[in-house]
Structure 1
Amino acid sequence: MTTAPPTPPDTDAAAFVAALRRLKAWSGFSYRQLERRAKDAGHVLPYSTAATMLGRDRLPRQELVAAFVAACGVRADEAQAWLDARVTIACGGPVVTTRSSRKRWSWQRCRAFAGALALAGALLAAAGGPFTDDVEVDEVGVSHHLPG
């Protein structure tokens, strides 16, 4: 009988990465096998990146967590729990309610914000970097910078 994969903690980055290490041990795959399995699942996870990720206590990027848990063989619903826990840690913890303002800040809002940031980063990367490319400025003859 196989055991269930480890569950992700949502307390702090060090505990999260320790759980990722347990997940790798649970999977029984080498770093090279994880790289191949991630590629087969449509992700990019270089073996050196996976090894570096598990050797630190910093919170890994969202796409690395998604690739890693998929490569380890975690089912989609369980994989989402890993991604949710990562967002909760990145956003500073679970639900916080303030009585005075009656505003409720939840991990769902933070997750939406994190998703928007990831989308903005992807769009900037797809655009080829900074928008103030010197070649474009030279061709147009207009600078969008304020005079100093």
Structure 2
Amino acid sequence: MTTPPPVPPDTDAAAFMTALRDLKVWSGLSYRQLERRAARAGHVLPHSTVATMLGRDRLPREELVALFVAACGMRADEAQVWLDARVSIAYGRPAEAAPTTKRGGRSWRPHQVLAGAAVALTTVLLAGVAGVGVLTDEVEVVQPPTSLLVPRS
């Protein structure tokens, strides 16, 4: 009989990270094996990123949690439990109550909206800077007059 996978707590980030470490141990996979498993599924999950993530007590990004738990062998419904616990910790309330915004028929969480706005603002700023020529190579080089001749006395 195999042991069941660890259950993610939704209490705090440190407990969640301890459970993620336990999940890696439960999977029996090395960091490189997790990387290869993710690659076979068409995803990028560098072993160094996983090692760094598990070495901290901070909450990782949702995408990283999703890739990691899938690489550890969690089914979609089991992975969703981990994501819901992460959202609950991040927002301090159950995942169902996490704020969302409807745009284009899709629900967006606040951090997704902010990330999109940041990308849009950066694009506009770079376009404006390029438009006024700040980032171009059109620089006028002025050389001061110099003389190699020394006047004779």
TM range (shorter): 0.7 to 0.9
Structure 2: which 5+ residue stretches go unaligned?
Answer: 102-107, 135-153
- Equivalent in the alignment of 2:138: none
- Equivalent in the alignment of 1:33: 33
Say whether residues 1:121 and 2:121 are aligned partners.
no
Provide, for residues 8-58 of structure 1, a one-character-per-residue CA deviation record: whole Å limited to 9, x for no partner.
000000000000000000000000111111122233211111001000000
Decide whether aligned partners of structure 1 residues 41 and 19 sit closer, same or farther in structure 2, where only a CA change above 3 A counts. same
TM-score, length-normalised on structure 2? 0.72
Report which stretch shifted further, 40-49 or 55-64: 40-49
In angstroms, what is the RMSD of aligned CA positions?
2.4
- Equivalent in the alignment of 1:131: 124
TM-score, length-normalised on structure 1? 0.74
Identity %: 62
Say whether residues 1:50 and 2:50 are aligned partners.
yes
Structure 1: which 5+ residue stretches go unaligned?
Answer: 95-106, 140-148
- Equivalent in the alignment of 1:103: none
- Equivalent in the alignment of 2:105: none
Q: What residue identity is the alignment partner of 1:21?
A: R
- Equivalent in the alignment of 1:108: 96
Distance in 2, Cα, partners of 1:122 & 1:42: 24
Q: What residue identity is the alignment partner of 2:98?
A: C
* Structure of larger gyration radius: 2
| Alpha-carbon distance, 1:80 to partner | 0.2
Decide whether aligned partners of structure 1 residues 51 and 77 sit closer, same or farther in structure 2, where only a CA change above 3 A counts. same
Where has structure 1 moved over 6 Å in runs of 4 or more? none
Distance in 1, Cα, partners of 2:7 & 2:99: 19
Decide whether aligned partners of structure 1 residues 93 and 49 sit closer, same or farther in structure 2, where only a CA change above 3 A counts. same
SS at match of 2:125: coil
